[in-house]
Amino acid sequence: MARFKDVFRLAVEVVPRRSGEGGSAVPAGVPAAVLAWYRTHRRPLPWRASKEPYRIWVAEVLLQQTRVDQAAPYFERFLARFPDLSTLARARTAQVLKVWQGAGYYARARRLHAAARVIVRQHRGELPRSVETLATLPGVGPYTARAIAAIAFGARVMPIDANALRVAARWTRETRDVGRSAVRASLEAALERSIPPGDAGEYAQAVMELGETICRPRSPRCGVCPVARSCRAATELARPELLPHRSPPSARPHVRGAVVALTLGDRWLVQRRPDDGLLGGLWEFPGGKIEPGESAEASARRELQEETGATAGPLRALGVVRHAYSHFTVELHVFQGAPRRRPRTSARRRWATLREVAGLPLPRATERIVEMLTAAPQEVGDEDAGRPRRDAGRPFSSPERARSPAGPRGSPRPGPGPRTGGRASLGPRAPRPRREAPRDPSGAGRSPAARAGSEARR
C-alpha cells in the first residue's frame, strides 16, 4: 500500500498542469531574502571583482558552455593576455584561439574576437549598453545581451540561464515542460516582475547563485535555502527535485574515426581547419570517419589520400583517443607512418616539429595525440629520415583539395548548445572541464574528432 501511495504521489507531482497554471508570480518576500543571502554567501569569482563591461562580457561568453569552477583559470589567462577590448581587437585570430585553447567551443573565441573588432570600428571601442544593440554583436544572443546589460549597466532585465530557469520553476511550481518557449517566456516574465528596486544585475546574479549552490538539479538543499518557506515546490511537493519538467534528451551517437600522424624526419604533417564550423581555425592531423565494413587502418589510409594526396608506407597503431562533444562521442584510432607519396602542402597544410605543433592552436583530441607521439618511440621505418631538412617543407604544385567544414561524411553536426548545468570542451594545460550539459542562454576543415564523427555559472 505504501508503495502504491509513493507511485501515486510521484504521478501527481509530475503531471503537467493545464495552460495558465504555474509560473504566474514569484512569491512575495523572495527577492529581498535572496539578495540578503547573496550579499553574505556569494562566491569570490574573478569576474565579480569589478563591473567593468569588458570583463563581464568575456566572462559571459566563457560561461556559455564552461562550468564556473573550470572557467576561472581560463578567464584569468584570457584577461592576462588581452586585458582590454582594444588589445583583443588588434590580436590575430590564431593568438586568440591559442589562449582560448582548452575551454572548448572555439566558435565563442572567434566570435568574441570578431565582436571586439566591430565594437572598435562601429562603437568607438565602447561596449553597447542596450540589449537590442548588444544582440547585434557576433556571438551575443538574447541571454548574453541581457546578462551584460543587467550586470554591467544595471538594466532592469533578467537573463535566464539553466539555474535561473530551475529556480523560477520551483518557486512558482511550474510543471509544464520548460523546454517550450512559451513556458520559458512565462518564467522569464515572472522573474522580471520580481526585480526589486536597486541593482538588477545583483538580483540576477543572486538568483543564478542560488541555483548553482543551493537549488541544485538533482539534490536541492532545501534545508539551508533562504526562501524554502516561500518556495512552492519545497512546501507543496514531497520531491521538489522533480521540477523543472523537461522532455528527455535523445541519446548521443558514437562515431569511430582514424587519424594518421605522418612523419618525415622529425616533422609531422598537420593541417588547419576552415575558419567556420566546428573547431574552426585549429590545427590537426589528417583523418576521418571509419566507414561501415572498413578497418581502422584502411580508413586511415583512405582519408590520408583523399585529404592530402599522400600515401603511406607501413602504419603502426599507437592507440585510441576517446573524446566527447555535446552532440556525439568519438573514438580515434591513431596510426603513425612515413609517406611513400608526398602530400600536397599549402598555407593550411605543412610539416612541423612536435614542438611547433604544440605551439599551434589545437583541439584537445589532437593535443592528446601529440602527447602520445611524444611518448612513443618512432619504430616505423622512415623512408625519408636521412634527407635534408629542406625536403620536409617543400611545397607541391597540386592544389589542396577543398575540405568541407561540415565534418566527416555521415557524422552529426554539433551546434552551440544552451547553457545549463556545466560544460566545457577541449583543453591544454589549464584544468580540463567535465562535459555535462551547456548553460547558454539562448539555447543557442574537419578535426579528426569532428570528422570522426567530435554549467553553470556564477
Dump the DSSP string for 383-398: TTTTS-GGGTT---SS
pLDDT in tens, 67-122: 898 999 999 999 999 999 999 999 999 999 999 998 988 889 999 999 999 999 99
Tell if the pTM clears 0.95, that is, is over it.
Answer: no
Cβ neighbors of 241 (< 8 A, separation 6 or more) are 217, 218, 219, 220
**pLDDT score for 377:** 58
Contact 134/148 with Cβ under 8 angstroms? Answer: yes
Query: Choosing from 13, 21, 52, 60, which is the catalytic residue?
Result: 60
Our answer to whether residue 241 is catalytic in this structure is no
Q: 178-212: string of b/e by CB count within 10 Å (b at 16+)? A: beeeebbebbbebbbebbeeebbbbbbbbbbbbbb
- Residue 219: how many CB atoms within 10 A of its CB? 7
Q: What is the DSSP letter of 245?
A: B
CATH code for the structural domain at 11-242:
1.10.340.30
**pLDDT score for 326:** 74
Cβ neighbors of 161 (< 8 A, separation 6 or more) are 143, 208, 419, 420, 439, 440, 441, 455, 456, 457
- Residue 221: how many CB atoms within 10 A of its CB? 12
**pLDDT score for 369:** 94
**pLDDT score for 394:** 35
**pLDDT score for 378:** 54
The stretches in the chain having pLDDT less than 50 are: 1-23, 379-458
CA distance 23 to 9: 21
For the chain, domain boundaries: 11-242
pLDDT in tens, 382-414: 333 333 333 333 332 333 333 333 344 334 434
Separation of CA 17 from chain center? 34
> Cα angle at 301 between 298 and 303, to 5 degrees?
105
Which amino acid is it at 10? L
